[in-house]
A and B are shown apart, each in its own frame.
Chain A
Amino acid sequence: MFFFNYVTRRFALALPTLFGVSVICFTLTYLLPGNPAMVKAGPFATPEHLAEMEHQMGLDRPFPEQYYRYVSGIFKGDLGESASTGRPVSQDFLQRLPATLELNLASLLIAIVIGLPLGVLSAVHRDTLVDHIGRVVGIMGVAMPSFLTGLLFVYVFFYMLDLAPSPLGRLGSGLEPPAHLTGLYVIDSLMTGNWTTLRSSLHQLMLPAATLGLSAIAPVARMVRSTMLEILESDYIKAAWAAGLPRRTVIYRDALRNALIPVITISGIVFGFLMAGNAVVESVFSWPGIGNYAVTALLTKDSAPIQSFILFVAVTCVMVNLAVDIAYGLIDPRIRFS
């Protein structure tokens, strides 16, 4: 019951944030230079034609009214129309979203699977070789821009070693996507037992996920390390040693479980950051996700997709934070019962 209230309260707190996000997002595009009516009417439109177009698009209305129209549109699932694809942005988005989710989740998984043990080892063997190697790997991952790592990976693993497939999309050529269940090819092909597709989709996913994941290893590993160091010095860990608990229990049960809260926080932040940062990686690997879509829209000054992308990333961040808050409660009884 405590927990239900906690979740409800967290959810209520997320609502004003979402409102703020929509205001900022709308204001940004409102203030941006350039006239959407001009884009739509074409370069040879007469001033009368332009005014007519502005009136049609509601651009001559006062700011609050325009905002109201925009928000009520969102609630009806109307995100506007893309000038370049000529289709509703919501449709384009839904179609591309699974690709992005698949890539981001895979990257997050890589970051946690590598970052978490790396952080624990660095903390337990503080100031030894393991710690230094972890630090160097982490700094490199952060310092290298994703497009460079991506290109480097393509050059080495595809061009030189021929270990990876060509960086073009989510499946090898000639393969049909698996039956649409979740839209994530890896999971769909796993669920339908389509091993050829599974192999190919994992193969295609490998390099982009590694590229994106590499940039996220460092924040995870550093956070785990510093939290673990602090917790290993805590009274209850000293008491656990003094009580003769096995080393594995002390480090991996007692200490790590206590260290999980900050780790979950950073994972949430990292996921939001991956959402925004995937645009570049998706472009490098021709990954048909929403990041790639937004970059294309940016290059053609197609405003509706850009606006929707910003809104989408912001909403995702808010949602992830909500999920993080709920996860806190599940892990820590002090939050659950207060």
Chain B
Amino acid sequence: MTEMLEISDLTVHFQINQGAIEAVDHINLTIRRGEILGLVGESGSGKSVTSFAILRLIRPPGRVVSGSVHFDGIDLGSLPEEQMRRMRGAKIAMVSQTPRTALNPLLTVGRQISRLLMVHAGLSTREAEKRMLEMLRLVRIPAPEKRANQYPHQLSGGMCQRVMIAMALATSPQLLLADEPTTGLDVSIAAKILDLLRELSTKTGAAIMLVTHDLGVVAEICDRVAVMHAGQLVECAPVRDLFHNPAHPYTKALVRSIPRVDRDVVLEPISGSVPSLINPPSGCRYAGRCEWTMDRCRVSRPPMVEAAPGHVVACYGFEERRVTC
């Protein structure tokens, strides 16, 4: 079996006074060994919640209502907490979207990396320090011996993100959950971070789930893309296929909203906004914004159908449009 991570039917709700926010709604997703999967969608579409749910770190008022996550054939939901903790950081690591604030301000960056090695790999202080310096070199931090003894506030944002990546990869995880790893960074630095991620993934064989709202980033490094809208998965396809033949109206709109320099096109914003996730209507959650909406779109949720080999989409209109196009 080549699937390293298998998310089936995952649903996450957040209970608030007005009802339940259905942040993630019956998601099915797989990640293969060594691949880079892009998870895209607007803010609030449930991307980050999905990665926290994989690590089983949804805390009240959040709750995993249904579904399961299998990692390497192991049902993560049934693991005792202590074993789950040993998974986090060791087998499945996370790179946060806020490098500056995701590092503990009171510890030197070197210490933050080496203590993980001591916790997860059982290394001695000296071994951990040696490996920590190797990691800092690997993510191309200049003068690693000096940087290791500095505190996060003495490092730039890009440098902090490199430290986060070094930290995440230090224990050689099989899966890296990178939650918007390039937000808040300069474009040139963001590009370097992406290159670094791809290179390290090739080198260590780690799979990456790249959570982002930036299709440019996706085009740059991903093998496959999953598109989320309002907590639902609407389309999943190999990256070229998705950009050339987007099947879901939302994906089409996303692709059309990418600025281009080579062609003179007017950018089209996606009309409407993400619907309220508090007790949302049954049916397709894009129905309110879609130009192809049909009656049954509002009644029941469209099932995932195969548009092409390896390319799935959840849209009633897809079949009909395919005929007419």
Contacts and interface: CB of A to CB of B under 8 A. Distances in A.
Report if A and B associate in a common complex.
yes
Nearest to A261: B106
B55 to A, nearest CB: 6
Interface stretch (A73-81, A170-178, A330-338): A330-338
Contacts of A235: 96, 98, 101-102
A1 interface: no
B167 interface: yes
Contact of B104 (A240, A244, A247, A331): A240
Interface stretch (B13-21, B81-89, B269-277): B81-89
B90 A244 contact: yes
A256 to B, nearest CB: 11
Contacts of A254: 104, 107
Contact of B85 (A234, A246, A258, A334): A246
B89 A245 contact: yes
Contacts of A180: none
B105 interface: yes
A132 interface: no
A50 to B, nearest CB: 64
A329 to B, nearest CB: 12
A55 interface: no
Q: Please report whether the interface of chain A is mostly helix, strand, loop or mixed according to DSSP.
A: helix
A243 B105 contact: no
A258 B106 contact: yes
Interface in A231-264: 234-236, 238-247, 249, 254, 257-258
B115 to A, nearest CB: 8
Given A236-B102, A236-B105, A243 B89 contact: yes
B197 interface: no
Contact of B106 (A238, A240, A333, A337): A333
A234 B101 contact: yes
B222 interface: no
Interface in B243-282: none
B294 interface: no
Interface string A168-207: 0000000000000000000000000000000000000000
A244 B87 contact: yes
Nearest to A257: B106
B120 interface: yes
A240 B120 CA distance: 13
Contact of A337 (B103, B119, B154, B164): B154
B116 A243 contact: yes
B318 interface: no
B86 A244 contact: yes
A331 B106 contact: yes
Contacts of A331: 106
B97 to A, nearest CB: 9
Nearest to B96: A239
Interface in B88-129: 88-90, 93-94, 96, 98, 101-107, 115-116, 119-120
B167 A243 contact: yes
B151 A334 contact: yes
Nearest to A254: B104
A242 B57 contact: yes
A245 B94 contact: no
Contact of A246 (B87, B101, B119, B164): B119
B153 interface: yes
A45 B102 CA distance: 76
A236 B164 CA distance: 11
Contact of A244 (B120, B151, B164): B120
A332 B105 contact: yes
Contacts of A249: 119
A239 B102 contact: yes
A332 B86 CA distance: 30
Contact of A239 (B103, B106, B151, B154): B103
B151 A333 contact: yes
Contacts of B89: 242-245
A242 B97 CA distance: 13
A235 B164 CA distance: 12
Contact of A238 (B87, B96, B105, B115): B96
Contacts of B93: 242-243
A333 B104 CA distance: 11
Contact of A243 (B94, B98, B101, B107): B94
A111 to B, nearest CB: 24
Interface of B: 52, 55, 57, 85-90, 93-94, 96, 98, 101-107, 115-116, 119-120, 151, 153-154, 164, 167-168
Given A235-B101, A244-B120, A334-B105, 18 more contacts: A236-B102, A236-B105, A238-B96, A239-B96, A239-B103, A239-B164, A240-B104, A242-B55, A243-B94, A243-B116, A244-B89, A245-B116, A246-B119, A257-B106, A258-B104, A331-B106, A333-B151, A337-B151
Query: 5 closest Cβ contacts across the A-B interface?
Result: A244-B89, A244-B88, A243-B89, A235-B101, A239-B102
30 contacts: A235-B96, A235-B101, A235-B102, A236-B102, A236-B103, A238-B96, A238-B102, A239-B96, A239-B102, A239-B103, A239-B164, A240-B104, A242-B52, A242-B55, A242-B57, A242-B88, A243-B94, A243-B167, A243-B168, A244-B88, A244-B89, A244-B90, A244-B119, A244-B120, A247-B85, A254-B104, A331-B106, A334-B151, A337-B153, A337-B154
Interface of A: 234-236, 238-247, 249, 254, 257-258, 331-334, 337
